[in-house]
Amino acid sequence: MSESRRLRLFDIIRGFSVISMMGFHACYDLTAIFGFRLAWFVPPFEDIWRDSISWTFLFIAGVMCSFSRNNLKRSGRYLALAAAIWAATTIAAVDTPINFGIIFCMGACTLIYALLQKAGHVPDGWKAAILLWVAFFISYGLPRGSFGFPPLAVPLPRALYQIRGLAWLGIPGPGFASGDFYPVLPFLFMYLSGAALGKLWKRQGYPETARKLACPPLEFVGRHPLVFYIFHQPAILLMCAAATGTQLL
């Protein structure tokens, strides 16, 4: 997307979410790794904060499908980065390694969108987006063994979660653990809802305010989200370790 036609609104929203993510991870590191007690950093506030970040990332990534020249190539970049993150977090062993995290999810969802695009069956419009949101909330509890959104969730058969090798899909088997878990289901539905609306909005045309709205600091962060994603956690860990005199490795 050329600079003159860039939708700054999405950069601003994404930039705000990246900064929110850094704040969340700083709180997580202080409590889970360095042993600090933050009385307010507990469910449900912790869960709501986490979801507000990841859902925004996935929705906007879906919207961006309409602007990508090659979603297949885009998915490959995401998945390669996800593999590198898994390797790095496994080797560092500071916390639970990241298996099938948010970057993997964006890569897998982009790959599925690319395949749907090749087949000519991509979701489009408000009706598709609403159906996908409903599907997302209904399947939200799948990784935790339930069907439906709390408090109306019903448990799924325990035997289903004794099958190994389905964690990527949303059915973690025995012994599976991840420091950041975003499987294909239910999050594909959130991603595709963004894709459906992105296709509609691009066809209808975005308002000029989406291009003219300006907040340079957030725009800068929002234009380089993967760079900040890769480096923010090591930086936060090092700063916390230096401040507390803790040996990480």
Query: What token pair was written down for 201?
Result: 């909005």
240 pLDDT above the threshold of 90: no
- Tens of pLDDT along 18-64? 999 999 999 999 998 888 899 999 999 999 999 999 999 999 999 99
249 in a structural domain: no
pLDDT at residue 127, as a whole number? 97
- Tens of pLDDT along 191-237? 999 999 999 999 999 988 888 899 999 999 999 999 999 999 889 98
**CA-to-CA dists, residue 133 to 136, 149, 188, 229, angstroms:** 5, 12, 10, 26
3-state secondary structure 1-35: CCHHHCCHHHHHHHHHHHHHHHHHHHHHHHHHHCC
> Beta strand 154-155 with 146-147: parallel, antiparallel or unpaired?
antiparallel
25 in a structural domain: yes
Measured distance CA(111)–CA(50) in Å, rounded: 24
pLDDT at residue 249, as a whole number? 59
Into how many domains does the chain fold? 1
48 in a structural domain: yes
Q: Radius of gyration of the chain from Cα atoms?
A: 19
Domain assignment of residue 142, given as a range: 3-244
3 pLDDT above the threshold of 50: no
- As a whole number, mean pLDDT of residues 70-87 equals 95
Residue (of 138, 122, 144) closest to 197 by Cα position: 122
Strand partners, 146: 155
What is the CB-side half-sphere exposure of residue 81 using CA atoms within 13 A?
Answer: 20
Strand partners, 155: 146
